[in-house]
Amino acid sequence: MASEEVDRFVSRRQSLGEGHTEAWKRTLEEAQMLADDRRKDGWEATYVMAAHTDTVSTDMNDHDRFGLMHVLPNNFADRFTEAYDSDAFSEYLVYGTSVDGVMFVVIELIDPEGHRAILVPCSYDMTMAQGMSESAAEAGVLPSYFKTIDGEILARFDHEEIEPLVTPPNA
């Protein structure tokens, strides 16, 4: 990223402050509420917070991965690994909104047969995601990768519908 772009990005982030702090707080609260509601309905619900989410395109790295890269702190990575089964989790829902170009969402991964859900609150800057959106449109799928802080990929989940994750859901 060129110095001008970095300066513009930093200035933009600093100007947004309180609105983003409040949106993140509401996103975390919503994830907990959704998990509690699932539990009340008899489901097993796991809450796993992404400490950081990047939007990655195919032209950004020396590998072919693109999509949302969710970094899970170790305590949440352990919870995720214990709960997730790539064969069983086949559906998803997305809840959230966009605030000044930043998506604040809860991704709910669903195992409909086992009545299990994993709720992942995350936020990511869509103003920096044009390449990811183009890669997803070309592939017809938007992957979410869940990885540890040291980069170990724990899982990949493919979202067949791209729009709820790259445009303001629940608009």
pLDDT of amino acid 128: 83
**Whole-angstrom distance, CA of residue 100 vs CA of residue 151:** 29
pLDDT of amino acid 15: 53
Q: Where are the alpha helices (DSSP H) in the chain?
A: 3-40, 74-83, 130-139, 163-166
Query: Rounded to the nearest 5 degrees, what angle is found at the Cα of 25, between the Cα atoms of 109 and 144?
Result: 30
**Whole-angstrom distance, CA of residue 36 vs CA of residue 110:** 15
pLDDT of amino acid 62: 67
Regions in the chain scoring below 70 on pLDDT: 1-17, 61-62, 168-171
Q: What is the pTM of this model?
A: 0.86
**Whole-angstrom distance, CA of residue 170 vs CA of residue 96:** 7
pLDDT of amino acid 33: 97
- Burial label for 63, CB within 10 Å (0-12, 13-18, 19+), is exposed
pLDDT of amino acid 3: 52
Q: How far is CA 77 from CA 46, 85, 103, 114, in A?
A: 11, 14, 22, 21
Contact between 105 and 40 (Cβ < 8 Å):
no
pLDDT of amino acid 1: 47
**Cβ count within 10 A of residue 81:** 14
